[in-house]
Amino acid sequence: MAIPYEFHYEKPLTLQAALELLDKHGENSRLLAGGTDVANEIRMGFRVPGLLIDIKGLEELKAIRVTDGALHIGALVGFDTIRASKPIRDHCHILYEAAGLVASPGVRNRATMVGNICSAVACMDSAAPLLVHDALVHCRSLGGERVVPVAKWFVDNRKTCIGGRELVTHVSIPLQEVKCAGAYQKMMRYTGEDLAAANVGVLRFADGRCHVAFGSVGPIPKRSPRLEKHFLEHGVNPESIVRAREMLEKLIKPISDVRASKEYRMHMAGVMLERALIAAGERLKMPRVIAGKE
């Protein structure tokens, strides 16, 4: 189906040129990286820009680096690259795990993680891994750099706090001092192209701390401080998990839609929380450090 909307297209080759275009066109422009969300949205007449700014020519946004105590993932890093990246597997295994569940290989070959959190559809797979790792989102505009904790990044379904003249250059994930291991669970009907009807990310630390994040059970993906406090006080054991699943009823607000009823989502969020806690606990026992330093 041909796209009935018209717009202009620019492909800047330097970050400065991209920022100048953004500054000039502001809200009337849209950034294009992998395009797997952008093309669909434009086809549906949603967020159609006057100018599409293709940032795939910006080489500096393609890197994955481990420097200054953090893992840095550039805005143009695709999910296929994440799957092939040893630094990401070593330092943020849960993101590696989640990336393998994003749609299908043909979409992962194109879609980027930063695009995923910029589209900010509530069921995105990148959010829970980034939330449990306290990732930071680095935005640039002509005015300079702004760093936003990922916990404050999401504002509503499909809405982030990015400014109209800003571009996300990269996401940084602090390397953990304490040994830790994560696990990601995604509720879906089949492998290949399904969106998460609910997802859970867990990061467990050797010192007893436990980070928990949920996606697709509310307008934005979120950490659950109440559950984290609960597990810190009572440890992670069969009894505390049963209690946590009861607490969940008041902590998340899933909706019913074409993919699942709210009751099913609620039930599965509890099941997935349990599975993720157990998986992360088993991984924490493994001699090879899956995330963080020994």
Partner 1 sequence: MKKISFTLNGERRQVHVSPNEILLEVLRYKMGVKSPKSGCDSGDCGACTVILDGKAVRSCLIFAVEVDGQEILTLEGLSADGLSPLQQALLEKNAFQCGYCAPGMILSAHELLSNKPHPTEGEIKEAISGNLCRCTGYQPIIDAIKSLTQKR
Q: Which stretch binds partner 1 (CB under 8 A): 102-110, 113-121, 207-215, 283-291?
A: 102-110
For the chain, helix, strand, coil in percent to 5 are: 40, 25, 40
Which CB, 85 or 224, lies closer to partner 1?
85
Residue 163 contacts partner 1 per CB under 8 A: no
Burial of 212 (0-12, 13-18, 19+ CB in 10 A): buried
Q: Which stretch binds partner 1 (CB under 8 A): 100-108, 139-147, 217-225, 267-275?
A: 100-108
- Sequence letter at residue 100: G
Which CB, 80 or 97, lies closer to partner 1?
80
- The CA distances from residue 205 to 49, 236, 238, 290, 291, in Å, are 44, 11, 18, 11, 10
Exactly one of 15, 107, 241, 247 binds partner 1 (CB under 8 A); that residue is: 107
Which run of H or of E encompasses 263?
helix 262-285
Exactly one of 80, 90, 125, 228 binds partner 1 (CB under 8 A); that residue is: 80
Site for partner 1 in 193-232 (CB under 8 A): 193
Would you give the distance in Å from CA 20 to the centre of its chain?
Answer: 27
User: Closest separation between CB of residue 230 and partner 1, Å?
Assistant: 37
Which CB, 71 or 195, lies closer to partner 1?
195
Which CB, 107 or 271, lies closer to partner 1?
107
Phi, psi of 138 (to 5 degrees): -100, 115
Distance CA 246, CA 244 (A): 5
Residue 106 contacts partner 1 per CB under 8 A: yes
Distance CA 294, CA 275 (A): 24
Exactly one of 20, 23, 54, 134 binds partner 1 (CB under 8 A); that residue is: 54
Contact 121, 199 (CB under 8 A): no
Residue 32 contacts partner 1 per CB under 8 A: yes
Exactly one of 18, 21, 31, 52 binds partner 1 (CB under 8 A); that residue is: 52
61: DSSP letter: G
Q: Which residues are bridge partners to 221 per DSSP?
A: none
Q: Which stretch binds partner 1 (CB under 8 A): 132-140, 189-197, 227-235, 237-245?
A: 189-197
Residue 36 contacts partner 1 per CB under 8 A: yes
Q: Which residues bind partner 1 (CB under 8 A)?
A: 1-3, 5-9, 11, 32, 35-36, 39-40, 42-43, 52, 54, 56, 80, 103-107, 109-110, 191-193
